[in-house]
């Protein structure tokens, strides 16, 4: 079912160790805001925001950094849809087998309210909600149904739309449980995350299975990691979904050619339009998702 119109989300910087691999990965709040605005100008209706320590480039969840990024974007553009991560603070690096609870350096595990403090303070249109735990090689991203209930309820009370990030079919089942409990308003907004090691693969079969498992009437987007980013752009559109690209998920425009966020959005837009599908503007995406209109750019 080819989507007649789609919106693009750009995941601007992420939390991975990617800064040393591509100098275009933005680090400081000024760089993150500038890259987000460039992606929006290239066609992204929404920007998914993480922050990084300005000195080290490492992932951060410092609310002050989020505030600076949001203020910088909103000062220049009030139309772009802001999607702030709610996924930081769940990293567990398990200790050696004789002392597994001696967590290694890099562990950052906090409670649900601390994970989303910046979202509840800044009130973006969207806050991400990772709907389950997952292995990332030696790192375990951990959350629990009780954590997710607390976060979903807080989003709902503050009128922040949760983006339900699902990495495998079990995550969709957990999201359905939250919907059944009335903690997430319908129609829900899902992000199908494909190609993460030990999660759902970036394949047609996996995307279709996950799409078919979604609650009827849901809004959904999908992305693939690395070289599968652009193939998954086409596949999502062909299956009726929206798309996500950006340096969080892929560092290259072509083999050996490092990308910028704007270039990845431009490439995705070209693929979408070659399929005969129109890319929605930010105001049109706001209308589709039920967000209040903003002052024009």
- What phi and psi values does residue 290 have, to the nearest 5 degrees? 80, 25
Q: Give yes or no for residue 188 having a pLDDT over 80.
A: yes
Q: Give yes or no for residue 297 having a pLDDT over 90.
A: no
User: Taking a C-beta distance cutoff of 8 angstroms, is the pair 152, 162 a contact?
Assistant: yes
Average pLDDT over every residue of 102-113: 96
Q: Point out which residues pair with 224 in neighbouring strands.
A: 194
**Pick from 192, 143, 140: which is nearest to 164 by CA?**
192
**Pick from 291, 250, 245, 240: which is nearest to 125 by CA?**
291
| pLDDT value of residue 296 | 52
pLDDT digits (tens, 9 = 90+) for 144-154: 999 999 999 99
> How much is the mean pLDDT over the chain?
96
Average pLDDT over every residue of 176-205: 97
For the chain, where are the alpha helices, taking DSSP H only?
Answer: 29-42, 63-76, 112-115, 117-122, 145-157, 169-180, 204-213, 229-238, 261-274, 282-289
- Cα separation, 55 vs 249, whole angstroms: 22
User: Taking a C-beta distance cutoff of 8 angstroms, is the pair 234, 207 a contact?
Assistant: no
Specify the fold of 5-289.
Answer: TIM Barrel (3.20.20)
pLDDT digits (tens, 9 = 90+) for 35-45: 999 999 999 99
For 4-61, where are the alpha helices, taking DSSP H only?
Answer: 29-42
- Cα separation, 129 vs 177, whole angstroms: 14
- Cα separation, 223 vs 135, whole angstroms: 18
DSSP symbol at 25: S
Average pLDDT over every residue of 172-193: 98
Average pLDDT over every residue of 15-31: 97
Domain ranges of the chain: 5-289
| pLDDT value of residue 53 | 98
- What phi and psi values does residue 182 have, to the nearest 5 degrees? 80, 15
- Cα separation, 48 vs 129, whole angstroms: 12
pLDDT digits (tens, 9 = 90+) for 108-142: 999 999 999 999 999 999 999 999 999 988 899 99
Average pLDDT over every residue of 83-99: 96
**Pick from 196, 265, 268, 203: which is nearest to 226 by CA?**
196
The larger pLDDT score, comparing residue 136 to residue 252, is at 252
Report pTM.
0.96
| pLDDT value of residue 2 | 85
**Pick from 91, 30, 31: which is nearest to 59 by CA?**
91
Average pLDDT over every residue of 165-180: 98
**In angstroms, what CA-CA distances link 173 with 120, 176, 203?**
26, 5, 20
Average pLDDT over every residue of 5-24: 97
């Amino acid at each position: 079912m080819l989507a007649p119109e789609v919106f693009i989300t750009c995941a601007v910087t992420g939390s991975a160790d990617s800064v040393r691999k591509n100098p275009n990965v933005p680090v400081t709040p000024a760089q993150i805001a500038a890259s987000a605005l460039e992606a929006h100008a290239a066609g992204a209706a929404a920007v998914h925001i993480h922050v990084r320590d300005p000195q080290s480039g490492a992932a951060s969840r410092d609310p002050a950094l989020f505030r600076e990024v949001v203020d910088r974007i909103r000062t220049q553009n009030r139309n772009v849809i802001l999607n702030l991560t709610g996924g930081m603070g769940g990293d567990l690096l398990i200790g050696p087998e004789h002392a597994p609870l001696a967590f290694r350096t890099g562990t950052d595990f906090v409670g649900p309210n601390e994970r989303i403090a910046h979202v509840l303070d800044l009130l973006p249109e969207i806050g991400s909600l990772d709907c389950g735990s997952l292995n990332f090689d030696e790192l375990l991203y951990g959350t629990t149904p009780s954590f997710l209930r607390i976060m979903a309820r807080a989003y709902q009370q503050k009128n922040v739309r949760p983006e339900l990030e699902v990495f495998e079919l079990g995550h969709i089942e957990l999201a359905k449980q939250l919907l059944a409990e009335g903690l997430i308003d319908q129609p829900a907004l899902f992000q199908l995350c494909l190609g993460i090691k030990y999660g759902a693969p970036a394949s047609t079969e996996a995307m279709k299975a996950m799409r078919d498992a979604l609650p009827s009437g849901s809004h959904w987007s999908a992305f693939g990691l690395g070289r599968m980013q652009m193939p998954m752009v086409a596949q999502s559109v062909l299956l009726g979904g929206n798309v996500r690209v950006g340096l969080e998920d892929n560092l290259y425009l072509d083999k050996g050619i490092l990308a910028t966020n704007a270039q990845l959005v431009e490439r995705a837009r070209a693929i979408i339009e070659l399929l005969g599908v129109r890319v929605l503007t930010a105001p049109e995406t706001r209308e589709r998702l039920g967000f209040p209109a903003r002052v024009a750019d």
